[in-house]
Amino acid sequence: MGHRKRGHTHAPKPPPSLDTHSSNSLRLSDHEQGLKHRICMVSDFFYPNMGGVESHIYQLSQCLIEKGHKVVIATHAYGDRRGIRYLINGLKVYYLPLQVMYNQSTATTCFHSLPLLRCVFVRERISIVHAHSSFSAMAHDALFHAKTMGLNTVFTDHSLFGFADLSSVLTNKLLTVSLCDTNHIVCVSYTSKENTVLRAALDPEIVSVIPNAVDPTDFTPDPCRRDNNKITIVVISRLVYRKGIDLLSGIIPELCAKHPDLCFLIGGEGPKRIILEEVREKYQLHDRVRLLGALDHKDVRDVLVQGHIFLNTSLTEAFCMAIVEGASCGLQVVSTRVGGIPEVLPDELVTLCEPSVHSICDGLETVIARIRTGNVASPANIHRKVRTLYTWRNVAERTEKVYNRVCREPVLPLSARLHRLRSHCGAVAGSIFSFVAVINFIFLLFLQWLRPDHLIDVAIDSSGPQSRMGQHLSKKKSKAPNPAVS
């Protein structure tokens, strides 16, 4: 019953075979270019919070809008920022008043966000809900409610997880429950796909690998900005254990002793900053090691272009955006060989080392020797190579294919969903979440009685094929700043 109510809205969702904008599109064809979706991106992490997931959601949404889809973003309220905001190109963002618990993630009871999210989904006539990041409770909530409401779901995972300790075991179980009836999952690297498939016991056929991308116009090289009398190594990351700052504290004294013209530029903030300051103090390297503190995203490029080498010492990464940004600015990249990093850059653009002080020092020595002899590609060449590797338009195109596939799939009705939960997620967790799913369904019926779908005002589209704003924009097709189309 919950799935069929949509017929009462003003503009019913067209069935996939009859598209109002391209009546010649083939039914069930592989290239359904005319089919435009109405997508809701849900995550706890969005602007004004800065980070990889946030910029991923934003850039992907912008590229999808450019392709003609309707995209709406739902996130939690950040301080005073609550309600609806419109970003460039009519990207509508709902800042929902949900309580934030820890590290920008909301609390979840599996029920209390249903009325708000239902309003968003019904008002915007959403057909696909795309949730981001396993750390986000709101994303999992949205997936849960979307399935109860009969909408197709896609989930993107951005991080790697362990298996061994208690918190990992519980989190992986919750992920299994969340993903057991999700239509499609997207991971950012092959290692991440293997990790997610093992964590959530998924069928690997429903997991796609779509890497992240970087906007190369934001990260252009500028060799004039760097001091050619010295060799500068740039490190930009959060200063936490996971990013290998302990290794950095071993590398700095060793290399500074061997190379008098070497200096380090370290941007970022975190609890391990004290270790770097101690090392600097002990070896009296105040003029050669600069700690810049927390950097705004717009300042990152200015710091990167001052360096010759970009060093990444992470102990685990699903897809390291930082090294692509460093390479895009024309720096030589040295990184640890962990997680998905070996898949990201070709061998001529990156030097990979084992995660130990000795190995990273060897790698850095090799690169320093190459720089001294001038045996390195120019920053402009490196930028040219990297520019074509990862683009947001390519990511959007591949994601669009995921949506095309997903919208053809049926959403499991309640009985099938309960069966899947109990059979796939184990006896205890499956039964608990079946119960929660049933309560969720009853709550949805209650809400539909209280405020029926046909009485909810349909929002005016600000993006997508029926958008009012789009009519002005399509007239002046703005020149794309990113000429690298793939």
The verdict on 191 binding other proteins (CB under 8 A) reads yes
Q: What is the DSSP string of 196-218?
A: HHHHHT--GGGEEE------TTT
Residue closest to 72 by CA, chosen among 32, 41, 104: 41
Cα–Cα dist 256/251, whole Å: 8
The SS3 call for residue 265 is strand
- Half-sphere exposure of 165 toward its Cβ, with a 13 Å CA cutoff? 3
* Calpha distance 62→70 (Å, rounded): 10
Cis preceding linkage at 48, omega within 30: yes
Q: Is 316 in the site for other proteins (CB under 8 A)?
A: yes
Which 200-239 positions form the footprint of other proteins (CB under 8 A)? 204-211
Rounded to a whole number of angstroms, the minimum distance from the CB of residue 253 to other proteins is 6
Structure tokens, 53: 């997931």
Total site size for other proteins, rule CB under 8 A: 58
- Least Cβ distance, residue 157 to other proteins (angstroms): 12
Q: How far apart (Å, rounded) are the C-alpha atoms in residues 175 and 169?
A: 10
CB of 104: closest distance to other proteins in angstroms? 22
Residues 413-442 touching other proteins, rule: CB under 8 A, are: none
Q: How far is the CB of 316 from other proteins (least distance, A)?
A: 4
What residue type is assigned to position 244 of the chain? G
Stretch that binds other proteins, among 47-55, 82-90, 155-163, 466-474 (CB under 8 A): 155-163
- Tokens 């060897």, residue? 362
Q: Which of 149, 305, 389, 425 binds other proteins (CB under 8 A)?
A: 389
Q: Does residue 486 belong to the site contacting other proteins (CB under 8 A)?
A: yes
Residue 350 token pair: 């990156």
| Residue 9 phi, psi dihedral angles, 5° rounding | -75, 165
- Is 184 near other proteins (CB under 8 A)? yes
55 vs 75, beta carbon nearer other proteins: 55
Could you tell me the two tokens for 65? 């809008």
Alpha helices in 287-354 (DSSP H): 300-304, 321-328
Is the CB of 74 or the CB of 396 nearer to other proteins?
396
Tell me whether residue 140 or residue 243 sits nearer to other proteins (CB atom): 243
For residue 315, state whether it binds other proteins (rule: CB under 8 A): yes
- Residue 69 C-beta-side C-alpha neighbours within 13 Å: 28
Please, which contacts does 49-55 make with residues 24 or more away whose CB atoms are closer than 8 Å? 49/78, 49/104, 50/296, 50/297, 52/158, 52/212, 52/321, 53/132, 53/133, 53/158, 55/297
Judging by DSSP bridges, how do beta strands 105-106 and 100-102 pair with one another?
antiparallel
Nearer to other proteins, 124 or 157 (CB): 157
- Of 222 and 397, which CB lies nearer to other proteins in the complex structure? 397
Closest distance of CB 94 from other proteins, Å: 27
Name which of residues 398 to 417 contact other proteins (CB under 8 A).
398, 401-402, 404-405
- Choice between 66 and 194, CB closer to other proteins: 194
> Helices 245-258 and 273-283: crossing angle, nearest 10°?
20
Tell me the closest approach of the beta carbon of residue 187 to other proteins, in angstroms. 10
319 binds other proteins (CB under 8 A): yes
Site pattern 275..314 for other proteins (x: CB under 8 A): x--xx--x--------------------------------
Quote the tokens at residue 299: 């300042």
- In terms of CB distance, is 95 or 264 closer to other proteins? 264
Q: Compare residues 115 and 250 and give the one whose CB is closer to other proteins.
A: 250
Q: Which is nearer to other proteins, 275 or 447 (CB)?
A: 275
Which CB sits closer to other proteins, 87 or 315?
315
Of 310, 251, 314, 240, which Cα lies nearest the Cα of 273? 240
Interface mask (CB under 8 A) for other proteins, residues 49-88, using x and -?
----------------------------------------
Taking CB under 8 A as the criterion, the residue among 13, 111, 194, 290 binding other proteins is: 194
Considering only residues 323 through 362, tell me which ones interact with other proteins, judged by CB under 8 A: 336, 338-340, 342-346, 355-357
DSSP string, 468-484: HHHHHHHHS-PPPS---
Of 392, 324, 396, 312, the closest CA to residue 355 belongs to 312
DSSP-H helix ranges across 76-165: 114-123, 137-149
Q: Is 348 exposed, middle or buried (0-12, 13-18, 19+ CB in 10 A)?
A: exposed
Identify the residue among 152, 249, 328, 463 touching other proteins (CB under 8 A). 249
Q: Which two tokens stand for residue 21?
A: 């904008």
Nearer to other proteins, 347 or 457 (CB): 347
Contacting residues toward other proteins, per CB under 8 A: 30, 160-164, 184, 189-192, 194-195, 197-198, 204-211, 242, 244, 246-247, 249-250, 253, 275, 278-279, 282, 315-316, 319, 336, 338-340, 342-346, 355-357, 389-390, 397-398, 401-402, 404-405, 486
